[in-house]
Structure 1
Amino acid sequence: MECYNYSPLIYAYQCKNIAITGEGKLKAKMDVWKTWFSRPEPHMNSLKKLYNLASYNTPIEERQMVNDTAHFRPQFIQFNRSENILLECISIENSPFWTIHPYLSKDVVIRNMSVYTHGHNNDGVDPEMSENVLIENCVFDQGDDAIAIKSGRNQDAWRLNTPSKNIVMRNCTMKNGHQLVAIGSESSGSIENVFVDNCNVIDGAKMYHLVFIKTNERRGGYVKNIHVKNIQAGKIANGIIGIETDVLYQWGNLVPTIERKLTPIKDIYITNVHATKTKYFSKISGQTELPIENIFLNKVVVDSTLKKHIHENLVNFVEK
């Protein structure tokens, strides 16, 4: 199989035994991408076109979206349908979109990485429909989530039916970003067995939640068996954990719901967590017809908070 390097964007397709290591820095020039951050009408029309092509299962080869106004930004590094991957000891600065994206891949190790990128949608690592992923000893300083676990969206992901699973994040430091770990909103292929351990969010980091699970009525899939423990954090703008089931962003008014599928969410464990200040401990919003199930908080301590818990449509919440 061939691998390609579009400097500085790295893309590997159907590759095995990949090792990208060293003490170097990968840096993207952001001049072009910054002009694409806004969402003018031609870009939004391209989003609508792609959504409809996918919703009605148009063959992939007919989904031609390359034009002067689509402004669909690439990931910095993408491993596509690859396996046995090691990404180690590299510093990444600036990214057009998601920074490191293992997609339909397995047996991935991301170790001793440093990510600094503050554009739009600049997640640190986005495992998507991937399994057996280890992220350890990394430093994240970006304008979006440190780790965002995804599993595809809507009809395409239902067809692929490949969960993201067996994902471990440990011994990492977060300097800035929206969430330490986000799950979704692309959850259509399902997400399970996520373990986050011994991570530190520095005091002064701009962060909304430690854990944020998000989906909407178009996604389907399931989210289950999420474990987060041994976390130290400073001030958090919102809370320790947030779960929202109606997160549509710009898609809410842009396109209609063509096929409705809800996302079961259950078995979330948060253990031994300390933060200095939050707006609330937890905000969990399930749906009337599909409540969220089994949320366990054990030894979660916040020095100062305005309100402890905000819950609706939640079954079996336990706090110790």
Structure 2
Amino acid sequence: MKRRSVYMFVILFLSLFACKQKPVPVGHQTLKVDAPFEMPEIIYPDFSACEEFVITDFGAVQDNRQNTSAAIAKAIDAASISGGRVIVPEGEWLCGKIHLKSNVNLHLKKGAVLLFSDNPEDYLPAVYTTWEGMECYNYSPLIYAYECKNVGISGEGELKAKMDLWKVWFARPPAHMNSLKRLYEMASTDVPVEERQMVNDTANLRPHFIQFNRCENVLLDGFTITNSPFWTIHPYLCKNVVVRNLNVFAHGHNNDGVDPEMSQNMLIENCVFDQGDDAIAVKSGRNQDAWRLNTPTKNLVIRNCMVKNGHQLLAIGSEMSGGVENVYMDSCTVADGASMFHLFYLKTNERRGGFIKNIFVKNIKADSVSKGVLGIETDVLYQWRDLVPTYERRLTSISDIHLENFEVNKVQFVSRILGDEELPVKNVFLKNISVKNVEAEDYIHENVINFRRED
């Protein structure tokens, strides 16, 4: 009996010891990315061995927004303690805002749909965010992470936004434009961000779908996004970001696919974009805010992506006052029949300042685009030209643009470069650009120094 008792005690002790072992923390992967510039290794989180926290264990109920939202928040809190995966099981789950925390992976199982409410009240209180390059307090993004490290969204499921109200907000009536004017004036005169409160009855500044704000080691992998109130994926002031294997569909006003802004060391690969605006829009802040933050978008690689629709395949600007350098797009395709203006488009104006340099776009295939292969414009102000004054004039330096190995059936022009007379565009190189049908002119150029095309 004594021997049996000792044996049972040992088994019990080992079982208790095993139960009390610390959960496996978040791991890390490093990714070396080839680029025509010195590209640092990207560090991103590995949640594969972490504990799982299923939202139904925390009270999630389908068709119950309040219970599901609260359950997701509780699961995120629990997962963040030691690192974990918040699991959304198969089925449609109506919810409000989701605020991620460090060491948390929101994981969507196959067949899972997170359906986000379009009630603005569900995205309050206001959070520290941005609107078109200007910092402010506004409605929370549908999924938001602020100053997080090791954070991600993954899985084969879907993130979907209800759009009934956001569609109404697409309009820009006078009250909305007056709110934009007020924000612009506050940003231009260095009013503290805490005082830039933009939630009121008339501003109607739509929230981003996903914003990672000042985060490090970010992974987005595998899921589908359907619809978006505003910019769809927005890494802002982030470092080490991997976006891959996503299927993004959002047709509406300002529905860019992904907007890297003042972010560094980033890879976008193997994604499909079907957008109502630019597919990939590289940003770097607007005017005084960006000059204050002084953080360029740098070391960005985009590869093996398909664009079904979008204003541009790749755009830079016009919010690029912090500077953009070391961008490489490789082996991307525009679907036949896609609605598109340019394959590569750079836009700025006399208020932006900053710089654009060391941009490489290579191995691109497209059927037809309504404008051209390359567009560079330095006087793009849209509605802002007459809405607000120029508080400080700063021109943008644009140089060292490389395009190589393009196959396109039809364009209006190959390149249109409208540089500034005081600060011309410099060093633009086109190589092996095959265009079967140019409907207008090959080149429409003003104020360009050292343009060269080689076949």
Q: Distance in 1 between matches of 2:427 and 2:149?
A: 38
1:38-77 correspondence to structure 2 within 5 Å? 38-77=171-210
2:445 to 307, 311, 316: 311
Q: CA deviation at 1:291?
A: 0.2
1:253-272 correspondence to structure 2 within 5 Å? 253-272=386-405
The SS at the match of 1:34 is helix
Residue 184 of structure 2 aligns to which amino acid in structure 1? Y
Q: CA deviation at 1:316?
A: 0.2
Q: What residue in structure 2 maps to residue 188 of structure 1?
A: 321
The SS at the match of 2:412 is strand
2:193 aligned with 1:100: no
Q: Distance in 1 between matches of 2:412 and 2:323?
A: 30
1:26-74 CA-partner distances (Å, limit 9, x unpaired):
1001111011111111001101111111111011111122101101111
2:302 aligned with 1:169: yes
Q: Distance in 2 between matches of 1:114 and 1:74?
A: 20
Q: Distance in 1 between matches of 2:369 and 2:152?
A: 36
2:396 aligned with 1:239: no
Q: What residue in structure 2 maps to residue 157 of structure 1?
A: 290
Q: Distance in 2 between matches of 1:68 and 1:167?
A: 38
Q: What residue in structure 2 maps to residue 218 of structure 1?
A: 351
Structure with the higher strand share, 1 or 2: 1
Q: Distance in 2 between matches of 1:263 and 1:59?
A: 26
Q: What residue in structure 1 maps to residue 98 of structure 2?
A: 5
1:108-123 correspondence to structure 2 within 5 Å? 108-123=241-256
Q: What residue in structure 2 maps to residue 20 of structure 1?
A: 153
Q: Distance in 1 between matches of 2:307 and 2:328?
A: 16
Q: What residue in structure 2 maps to residue 124 of structure 1?
A: 257
1:29-44 correspondence to structure 2 within 5 Å? 29-44=162-177
1:162-190 CA-partner distances (Å, limit 9, x unpaired):
00010010000000000010000001100
The SS at the match of 1:35 is helix
Q: What residue in structure 1 maps to residue 408 of structure 2?
A: 275
Instruction: Give the stretch that moved more between structures: 41-50 or 1-10.
Output: 1-10
TM-score (norm 2): 0.69
Q: Would you say how many aligned residue pairs link Structure 1 and Structure 2? A: 320
Structure scoring higher RCO (CA < 8 A, sep ≥ 6) equals: 1
1:60-110 CA-partner distances (Å, limit 9, x unpaired):
111122101101111100000001111000100000011000000010000
Q: RMSD across aligned C-alpha pairs, in angstroms?
A: 1.3
Q: What residue in structure 2 maps to residue 291 of structure 1?
A: 424
Q: Distance in 2 between matches of 1:203 and 1:277?
A: 11
1:235-276 CA-partner distances (Å, limit 9, x unpaired):
110000000000011101101111100000000000000100
Q: Distance in 1 between matches of 2:356 and 2:279?
A: 19
Q: What residue in structure 1 maps to residue 9 of structure 2?
A: none
The SS at the match of 1:270 is strand
The SS at the match of 2:169 is coil
The SS at the match of 1:129 is coil
Return the index of the structure with the highest Cα Rg.
2
Q: Distance in 1 between matches of 2:271 and 2:196?
A: 36
Unaligned runs of 5+ residues in structure 2 are 1-75, 81-96, 100-114, 117-141
Consecutive aligned runs of 4 or more in structure 1 exceeding 3 Å deviation: 1-4
Q: Distance in 1 between matches of 2:204 and 2:378?
A: 28
1:207 to 330, 340, 345: 340
Q: CA deviation at 1:19?
A: 2.2
TM-score (norm 1): 0.98
Tell me the percent identity: 64
The SS at the match of 1:44 is helix
Residue 81 of structure 1 aligns to which amino acid in structure 2? R
Q: What residue in structure 1 maps to residue 277 of structure 2?
A: 144
Q: Distance in 1 between matches of 2:394 and 2:381?
A: 14
Instruction: Give the stretch that moved more between structures: 302-311 or 5-14.
Output: 5-14
Unaligned runs of 5+ residues in structure 1 are none
Residue 99 of structure 1 aligns to which amino acid in structure 2? T
1:270-312 CA-partner distances (Å, limit 9, x unpaired):
0000100000000000011000000000000101002100000
The SS at the match of 1:181 is strand
Residue 343 of structure 2 aligns to which amino acid in structure 1? L
The SS at the match of 1:74 is coil
Instruction: Give the stretch that moved more between structures: 291-300 or 13-22.
Output: 13-22
Residue 433 of structure 2 aligns to which amino acid in structure 1? V
